[in-house]
Amino acid sequence: MPNQLQSFLFPNHAIRGCLVRLDTSLTEALAIRAYPSAIEVVLTDAILALLLLSHTLKQPNTISMQINGTENSSLKLLLAQCDYRHQFRCLATWRSDELTTDLQQLTGNATIVFTTYNDISQQMFQSVVAITENNLQHCLEHYFKQSEQIPTRFYLFKRGKQAAGLLLQALPDEREEMEDWQRINYLAATLTEQEIFTLDNDMILHRLFHEETVEMYGAKNISYQCKCSVKKMQQAVKLLGRDDADALLEEQGIIEVTCDFCNQQYRFDKTDIALIFANSVITDTPKNLQ
Ligand SMILES: [Zn+2]
């Protein structure tokens, strides 16, 4: 089923995996801006990789991937976030018409900042992934192997408005036999675009790994969901400070805040602003993932 992810395990080899397929949720995410096709390709890779990695995410955590292109690079910013319920949102901005899907060229050899964020404690853990390869999945594979000692492989597919991915990952702290890892990946690499977009997960796993024992877990829904809210935008206005907010009100008569992710506009008039600064609507200032 599209817009779902399904985890599985090879219990005899300490290897886990995940299958993800997207259609309408991806269309919704990409419809926010008129993305050039090269940006769509890179953003789709980021969404797929994040969703595949989210299959082990525990409540109340969110993971995000952020790339700030270097000065003069074609890509200015790419940001994708996904929470433990597999609700994701994303955005990308660019500064050139000469775009490529080669991640090194597109970003000027920037880095990928990978963050795991606890929505309750607001603690975050960040890893910096060097862009040493021409696509996102190979950069992440390199990072997991070198820094985490966790062999990881992504198989990503795109067809029209659909996208799909397969992840294989050796379990941490397990001594995976390299031979088993290579054999399972050799089999996974035979997966075709036609198969991943037309067969169901049972059939895909049977077709690839019918000589292996595979345990499948329940499928989980994926959705495109922005997390902006009036309360968060009130907090953003409060961060401006009373003087700046009053100056903006004086100039424009209203303060308008637009969510960078989903383009939703929030408007605050003089009464709203007075309330924001006067009472306890805002009790704390959240750390922002951006
Ligand atoms: Zn939003």
For residue 244, give the CATH number of its domain. 3.90.1280.10
State in Å: Cα 116 to ligand 1 middle: 20
The interaxial angle of helices 178-188 and 201-209, nearest 10 deg, is 120
Query: Is 287 part of a structural domain of the chain?
Result: no
Domain count of the fold of the chain: 2
For residue 173, give the CATH number of its domain. 3.55.30.10
What is the model's pLDDT at position 279?
A: 66
Query: Is 95 part of a structural domain of the chain?
Result: yes
Q: Residue 254 — φ and ψ, nearest 5°?
A: -155, 150
Query: Is 284 part of a structural domain of the chain?
Result: no
State in Å: Cα 190 to ligand 1 middle: 39
Q: Residue 284 — φ and ψ, nearest 5°?
A: -150, 170
Q: Are residues 174 and 268 in the same domain?
A: no
- Give the residue from 184, 206, 224 where a domain finishes: 224
Q: Are residues 114 and 214 in the same domain?
A: yes
pTM for the structure as a whole = 0.91
Query: Is 63 part of a structural domain of the chain?
Result: yes
What is the model's pLDDT at position 52?
A: 98
> Pairing state of beta strands 4-10 and 124-130?
unpaired
> Can you tell me the distance from the alpha carbon of 89 to that of 196, in angstroms, rounded to the nearest whole number?
23
Rg (CA), the chain: 21
Q: Are residues 92 and 184 in the same domain?
A: yes
What is the model's pLDDT at position 289?
A: 41
CA angle 111–189–4, rounded 5-degree value: 70
Q: Are residues 80 and 201 in the same domain?
A: yes
Q: Who surrounds ion ligand 1 at CB < 5 A?
A: 226, 228, 259, 261-262, 264
Query: Is 290 part of a structural domain of the chain?
Result: no
Q: Which helix (H) or strand (E) holds 114?
A: strand 111-118
Give pLDDT tens digits along the chain (290 positions): 899 999 999 999 999 999 999 999 999 999 999 999 999 999 999 999 999 999 999 999 999 999 999 998 999 999 999 999 999 999 999 998 889 999 999 999 899 999 999 999 999 999 999 999 999 999 999 999 988 889 999 999 999 999 999 999 998 765 657 889 999 999 999 999 999 999 999 999 999 999 999 999 999 999 999 999 999 999 999 999 999 999 999 999 999 999 999 999 999 999 999 999 986 554 444 434 43
- Give the residue from 206, 224, 242 where a domain finishes: 224
What is the model's pLDDT at position 171?
A: 87
State in Å: Cα 219 to ligand 1 middle: 27
CB neighbour class for 248 (10 Å; exposed up to 12, middle 13-18, buried from 19)? middle
Query: Is 285 part of a structural domain of the chain?
Result: no
Contact in structure between 176 and 14 (CB atoms under 8 Å): yes
Query: Is 241 part of a structural domain of the chain?
Result: yes
State in Å: Cα 164 to ligand 1 middle: 25
For residue 258, the enclosing domain spans 230-277
State in Å: Cα 81 to ligand 1 middle: 12
Q: Are residues 151 and 134 in the same domain?
A: yes
Q: Are residues 218 and 242 in the same domain?
A: no
What is the model's pLDDT at position 23?
A: 97
How far, CA to CA in Å, does 219 sit from each of 41, 86, 199? 25, 11, 15
Dihedral class, residue 236 (left if φ above 0, else alpha if ψ from -120 to 50, else beta): alpha
Q: Are residues 209 and 242 in the same domain?
A: no
Q: Are residues 91 and 198 in the same domain?
A: yes
Q: Are residues 49 and 193 in the same domain?
A: yes
The interaxial angle of helices 230-240 and 242-252, nearest 10 deg, is 100
Structure tokens at 34: 């008129």
Q: Are residues 268 and 150 in the same domain?
A: no
Sign of the dihedral defined by the CA atoms of residues 106, 107, 109, 115, in that order:
negative
Given the structure tokens 């924001």, which residue do they identify? Answer: 276
- Give the residue from 202, 224, 246 where a domain finishes: 224
What is the model's pLDDT at position 98?
A: 84
What is the model's pLDDT at position 284?
A: 42
Q: Closest Cα to residue 164, out of 44, 31, 17? A: 44
Query: Is 247 part of a structural domain of the chain?
Result: yes
Q: Are residues 244 and 218 in the same domain?
A: no
Q: Are residues 75 and 196 in the same domain?
A: yes
How many CB atoms are located within 10 Å of the residue 5 CB? 23
What is the model's pLDDT at position 96?
A: 83
What is the model's pLDDT at position 16?
A: 96
Contact in structure between 228 and 8 (CB atoms under 8 Å): no
State in Å: Cα 162 to ligand 1 middle: 23
